[in-house]
Amino acid sequence: MQTPYSAKDIAPRLVTGFLTANLSLILISQATTIANALSAALAGSGVTPSTAASALLGTLTAPLSGGGIFLVLLALAGAVLQRQAQRPKPDWADQALLARPPGTSPSAQ
């Protein structure tokens, strides 16, 4: 049996949900800024994406000899990060596609 809800019952829940959803975005943004500042302060200016990815990959692959599937998946994620840190240069087709005016799309023929 369903109980009917009135606007008086639902309004406080809607306001609370709206406020917590919007405040969580602000809080997560501030937490991310603090974490980035802390990591920059601890790491200094000597960390590049490729060195960070290789250090993470080395940390993840070291315990693989006695690890389970979780460590294998973590090592795979590290390998993907290592691969993404070394971006390939775009070839002539990529450059032509990127050089087209905004708002236009390549015509299919």
- Judge whether 27 lies within some domain: yes
Q: Are residues 57 and 82 in the same domain?
A: yes
Query: By the 8 A CB rule, do 53 and 81 touch?
Result: yes
SS3 content of the chain, % helix, strand, coil (to 5): 70, 0, 30
Residues 52 and 90 in one domain: yes
- Output the pTM of the full model: 0.36
Long-range contacts of 7-13 (CB under 8 A, 24+ apart): none
| Any domain includes 68 | yes
What's the average pLDDT block by block, 10 residues per block, for the chain (109 residues)?
Answer: 78 90 89 82 72 73 68 76 66 76 63
In a domain, 3, yes or no: no
Q: Which domain holds residue 27?
A: 11-44
Residue 5 is assigned to a structural domain of this protein:
no
**CA atoms of 64 and 60, how far apart (whole Å):** 7
The CA distance from 36 to 40, in Å, is: 6
Statement to judge: residues 30 and 61 lie in one domain: no
